[in-house]
């Protein structure tokens, strides 16, 4: 296969996405022999991950037997590597000022509405509400505006949030989703303790990218594409990628994403820490009908399952852009992190409390409260996790990946998930919730394989429920 050839483009730090190559590969992959696809699936079943050429063959197969195997292996990987843990987080929108004109986004600078940037007091108010929902991990989000929302403002937000201490703990990990920037700014973010730097490529299809980013700094495809290279240079080794599904051919996008991951692995020894799979949602100031590549549910499910096969150790994030039914389904085949109780509006948590009208970036599809989501996850046999231990103990980048690949996730992450869920139940749950949590925890304890760790976790959980001790 031609694609086996020269992969020198992966180390091209200016632009490692070659449109003709990806399109050619998708075309060529349609002829992959059935026996070849079987071998690819066998490899995925051994948790070895797949390269983008193998992924192209899975994306283009139409064989129902292969498709059924893709879903069943995705489920096996999910169960084997991640067990029943689901990491919880919530977004925090701090500023919706934006200098870009992005056709899909309500922050588009030509769209007029009452824009806001939160003061530090308003940030504290939002964080108090997020903390009262039990969140320990947030994704800080902002539009791009170097004058109104410069990097120093983002750093101040982070310091303010990390400085806040509550009776039940604190926000312990701040992931940041802000526009592509320069190495110097990534260094500053690293210095104040960023969790993951998240940036969606939106689309890897350059002509589409240039069309939907009508004007503004974000219009520069290559600058956006190479943001993670600069983030690594600035000392951030946990980076989270994603595409906004709905802008271009979804199979092209998956290959772009996987080539990006391989590029990072080659250059920095570690690929994406997480991959997000946002699908385009209706938003003020845009008409979703104008986007010809909207992804239907069936294709979306296949894509999530194929990404799970491709990068078994990379966390996969699903937001409240998806509805309850789709979230429940995708949790089974690969998603490991979900948001809960989210607002996509600047100051939205306080507005919700005061029943004020919102100006969301886009309209969410899962309106359940965090407590409802967490209770339902437990009913479905999951363990919602509020753990941030890897980050707090410096296990980031390739150090996290080595732990994941060693198969130790169950011995390390599961006990932490069970302890943080116990703390959550103790701090935020009513009597009924506590009982349900205790049942879920008891059912999951035997899954900790190492006996010493299992016994220790059980003792710690007893202490959390009986004497309120915490943060083991």
What is the binding site for ligand SAM (CB under 6 A)?
104-105, 141, 143-144, 177-179, 199-200, 202, 218, 244, 278, 280-281, 283, 321, 361-362
| Shortest spacing between CB 230 and ligand SAM, in angstroms | 14
Of 22, 34, 25, 28, nearest in space to 62 by CA: 34
**Number of helical H runs and strand E runs in the chain:** 20, 11
Q: Which is nearer to ligand SAM, 270 or 280 (CB)?
A: 280
Q: Encoding tokens for residue 345?
A: 């509006």
Q: Which is nearer to ligand SAM, 314 or 361 (CB)?
A: 361
Q: Which is nearer to ligand SAM, 77 or 286 (CB)?
A: 286
Q: Which is nearer to ligand SAM, 148 or 403 (CB)?
A: 148
Q: Which is nearer to ligand SAM, 143 or 347 (CB)?
A: 143
Q: Which is nearer to ligand SAM, 153 or 200 (CB)?
A: 200
Greatest C-alpha distance within the chain: 64
Quick one: 453 exposed, middle or buried, by C-beta within 10 A (0-12, 13-18, 19+)? middle
| Shortest spacing between CB 139 and ligand SAM, in angstroms | 9
Q: Which is nearer to ligand SAM, 198 or 377 (CB)?
A: 198
Q: Which is nearer to ligand SAM, 25 or 140 (CB)?
A: 140
| Shortest spacing between CB 96 and ligand SAM, in angstroms | 8
Residue whose structure tokens are 């063959």: 57
The CA R_g of the chain, rounded to the nearest whole Å, is: 22
| Shortest spacing between CB 178 and ligand SAM, in angstroms | 5
Q: Which is nearer to ligand SAM, 9 or 200 (CB)?
A: 200
Residue whose structure tokens are 């008409």: 287
Distance CA 451, CA 448 (A): 7
| Shortest spacing between CB 37 and ligand SAM, in angstroms | 32
3-state secondary structure of 56: helix
Q: Which is nearer to ligand SAM, 167 or 289 (CB)?
A: 289
Q: Residue 472: CB partners within 8 Å, gap ≥ 6? A: 419, 460, 463
| Shortest spacing between CB 323 and ligand SAM, in angstroms | 14
Distance CA 122, CA 156 (A): 13
| Shortest spacing between CB 363 and ligand SAM, in angstroms | 8
Angle made by CA atoms 182, 144, 351, in degrees to the nearest 5 = 135
Q: Which is nearer to ligand SAM, 81 or 102 (CB)?
A: 102
| Shortest spacing between CB 290 and ligand SAM, in angstroms | 12
| Shortest spacing between CB 200 and ligand SAM, in angstroms | 4
| Shortest spacing between CB 176 and ligand SAM, in angstroms | 9
Distance CA 404, CA 383 (A): 18
Residue whose structure tokens are 């899954």: 447
On whether the CB atoms of residues 212 and 103 are closer than 8 A, the answer is yes
Distance CA 74, CA 444 (A): 21
| Shortest spacing between CB 179 and ligand SAM, in angstroms | 4
Q: Residue 254: CB partners within 8 Å, gap ≥ 6? A: 55, 59, 303, 306, 307
Q: Residue 150: CB partners within 8 Å, gap ≥ 6? A: none
- Sort strands 101-102 and 213-215 into parallel, antiparallel or unpaired: antiparallel
Q: Residue 445: CB partners within 8 Å, gap ≥ 6? A: 418, 454, 457, 458, 461
Residue whose structure tokens are 């998930």: 417
- Phi and psi at residue 468, to the nearest 5°: 70, 10
Of 64, 103, 313, 63, nearest in space to 202 by CA: 103
């Amino acid at each position: 296969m031609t694609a086996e050839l020269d992969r020198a483009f992966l180390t091209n730090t200016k632009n490692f996405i070659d449109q003709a190559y990806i399109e050619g590969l998708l075309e060529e992959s349609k002829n992959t022999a059935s026996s070849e696809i079987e071998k690819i699936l066998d490899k995925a079943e051994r948790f070895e991950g797949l390269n983008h050429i193998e992924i192209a063959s899975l994306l283009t197969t139409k064989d129902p037997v292969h498709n059924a195997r893709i879903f069943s292996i995705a489920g096996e990987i999910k169960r084997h590597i991640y067990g029943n843990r689901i990491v919880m987080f919530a977004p925090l929108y701090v500023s919706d000022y934006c200098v870009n004109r992005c056709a899909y986004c309500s922050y588009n600078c030509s769209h007029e509405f009452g824009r806001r940037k939160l003061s530090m007091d308003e940030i504290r108010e939002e964080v108090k509400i997020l903390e009262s929902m039990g969140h320990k991990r947030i994704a800080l989000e902002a539009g791009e505006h170097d004058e109104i929302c410069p990097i120093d403002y983002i750093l101040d937000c982070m310091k303010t949030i990390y400085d806040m201490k509550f009776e039940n703990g604190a926000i312990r990990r701040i992931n940041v989703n802000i526009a592509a920037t320069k190495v110097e700014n990534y260094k500053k973010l690293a210095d104040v303790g960023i969790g993951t730097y998240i940036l969606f490529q939106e689309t890897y299809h350059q002509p589409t990218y240039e069309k939907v980013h009508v004007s503004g700094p974000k219009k520069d495809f290559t600058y956006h594409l190479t943001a993670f290279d600069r983030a690594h240079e600035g000392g951030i080794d946990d980076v989270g990628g994603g595409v906004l599904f709905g802008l271009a051919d979804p199979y092209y996008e998956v290959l772009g994403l996987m080539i990006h991951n391989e590029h990072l692995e080659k250059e920095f020894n570690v690929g994406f820490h997480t991959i997000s799979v946002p699908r385009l949602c209706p938003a003020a100031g845009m008409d979703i009908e104008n986007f010809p590549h909207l992804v239907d549910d069936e294709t979306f499910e296949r894509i999530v399952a194929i990404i799970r096969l491709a990068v078994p150790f990379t966390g996969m994030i699903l937001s409240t852009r998806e509805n309850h039914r789709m979230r429940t389904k995708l949790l089974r085949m690969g998603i490991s992190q979900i948001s809960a109780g989210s607002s996509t509006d600047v100051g939205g948590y306080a507005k919700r409390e005061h029943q004020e009208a919102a100006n969301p970036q886009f309209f969410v599809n899962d309106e359940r409260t965090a407590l409802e989501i967490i209770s339902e996850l437990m009913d479905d046999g999951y363990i919602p996790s509020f753990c941030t231990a890897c980050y707090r103990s410096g296990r980031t980048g390739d150090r996290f990946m080595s732990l994941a690949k060693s198969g130790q996730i169950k011995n390390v992450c599961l006990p932490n998930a069970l302890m943080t869920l116990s703390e959550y139940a103790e701090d935020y749950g009513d009597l009924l919730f506590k009982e349900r949590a205790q049942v879920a925890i008891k059912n999951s304890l035997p899954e900790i394989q190492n006996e010493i760790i299992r016994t220790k976790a059980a003792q710690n959980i007893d202490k959390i429920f009986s004497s309120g001790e915490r943060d083991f």
